[in-house]
Amino acid sequence: MKLVTGNSNRALAQSVASYLELPLTDCTVKRFADKEVYVEVHENVRGEDVFILQSTSFPANDNLMELLILTDALRRSSARRITAVVPYFGYARQDRRATGRTPISAKLVANLIAEAGVNRVITLDLHASQIQGFFDIPTDNLYAAPIITRDILDNYKLENTMIVSPDVGGVARARAVAQRLGTDLAIVDKRRPKAGVSEVMNIIGDVSGQACILIDDIVDSGGTLVNAAEALLKAGAKEVSAYITHGVLSEGASERIGASKLKELVVTDSIEATPAQRATANIRHMGIAPLIGEAIARTASEQSVSSLFD
């Protein structure tokens, strides 16, 4: 078995390698003068079961091209099987045609990955579970719920604690955590006038006197979380925290979170933290290397991956 990584999240790749007690495969992933991606693998991979760990986060196009070109290099070097481990699958938010004359970019990216020569995909908390069906190759969608649940148990008292979904679309995700913890569930009724802008309408459920914990998959601008936190506090919540799988946190988001009424925002390291995130007092990062590493180990030994979440 070989573990290869591009430049999207080397810290996570090193943590996964440490968990597996396996060195990262020696390879070069750099740029030509005109910024084209150049890849060279310096170890023999013929007949090997190779796992490429590469999130397609910002810069999404560069990191996606690294994944595709790494795949091509390994395929042409006679790797037996290539598994793309993509903790954060970019373009997942474009999974349907919400209006006319728009693309379904998630399907396009799935096609590119399969056509490049990937035999299997492992990813984490897809924005929409049906994206698994966009791939014509086996795809395992891992869930962060067990890690989030464990962290909540370690850091919060469950008495007077309520799990909250920041929108109707995320109810299933939030309910999974609430059921594991045995707590009640509330929902924020949100409307989005345009992409990147959210407006809180109503709170479904009694949050008065509760310590509310928002559960979501992606935080980008941070507007949804900030607005939801303000609405919950106005509705009588005593404090509001949030757990997010993918901390996209585009420009200005960390400052927005830092200035908000959120007690704490906890994000996994599926996307490498920026200096702005590390400098924000109420943003904390949570490691997913054991989950990713265990999924890789089970895939390599042909064991069940879904049993991780039973």
SS3 sequence, the chain?
CEEEECCCCHHHHHHHHHHHCCCECCEEEEECCCCCEEEEECCCCCCCEEEEECCCCCCHHHHHHHHHHHHHHHHHCCCCEEEEEECCCCCCCCCCCCCCCCCCHHHHHHHHHHHHCCCEEEEECCCCHHHHHHCCCCEEEECCHHHHHHHHHHHCCCCCEEEEECCHHHHHHHHHHHHHHCCEEEEEEEEEEECCEEEEEEEECCCCCCEEEEEEEEECCCHHHHHHHHHHHHCCCCEEEEEEEEECCCCCHHHHHHCCCCCEEEEECCCCCCHHHHCCCCEEEECCHHHHHHHHHHHHCCCCCHHHHC
Give tens-digit pLDDT for 231-283: 999 999 999 999 999 999 998 999 999 999 999 999 999 999 999 999 999 99
167 is in an annotated binding site: yes
Q: Is there a single domain that holds both residue 156 and residue 262?
A: yes
Q: Is there a single domain that holds both residue 122 and residue 160?
A: no
151 is in an annotated binding site: no
Give tens-digit pLDDT for 284-293: 999 999 999 9
Q: Is there a single domain that holds both residue 11 and residue 32?
A: yes
222 is in an annotated binding site: yes
Q: Is there a single domain that holds both residue 184 and residue 253?
A: yes
Q: What pLDDT score does 261 carry?
A: 94
Q: Is there a single domain that holds both residue 234 and residue 300?
A: no
Question: Mean per-residue pLDDT for 212-230?
Answer: 93
* Structural domains in the chain (count): 2
Residue 224 above 90 pLDDT? no
- Token pair, residue 58, equals 């910002």
In whole angstroms, give the CA distance from residue 149 to residue 174.
11
Residue 193 or residue 215, greater confidence: 215
Instruction: Report the CATH number at residue 296.
Output: 3.40.50.2020
Q: Is there a single domain that holds both residue 195 and residue 305?
A: no
**190 an active-site residue?**
yes
Q: What pLDDT score does 99 carry?
A: 87
| Domain region containing 83 | 2-142+290-309
pLDDT band at 198; cut points 50, 70, 90: low
Of 177, 184, 229, nearest in space to 205 by CA: 184
93 is in an annotated binding site: yes
Question: Mean per-residue pLDDT for 162-167?
Answer: 94
- Where b means 16+ CB within 10 Å and e means fewer, 93-120 reads bbbeeeeeeeeeebbebbebbbebbbbb
Q: Is there a single domain that holds both residue 116 and residue 166?
A: no
Q: Is there a single domain that holds both residue 7 and residue 133?
A: yes
230 is in an annotated binding site: no
221 is in an annotated binding site: yes
Q: Is there a single domain that holds both residue 119 and residue 191?
A: no
Average pLDDT, the chain: 94
Beta bridge partners of 240: 212
In whole angstroms, give the CA distance from residue 215 to residue 88.
17
Q: Is there a single domain that holds both residue 129 and residue 32?
A: yes
In whole angstroms, give the CA distance from residue 199 to residue 231.
10
Q: Is there a single domain that holds both residue 63 and residue 94?
A: yes
Q: Which residue in the list 30, 107, 190, 234 is annotated as catalytic? A: 190
Residue 195 above 70 pLDDT? no
Q: Is there a single domain that holds both residue 301 and residue 276?
A: no
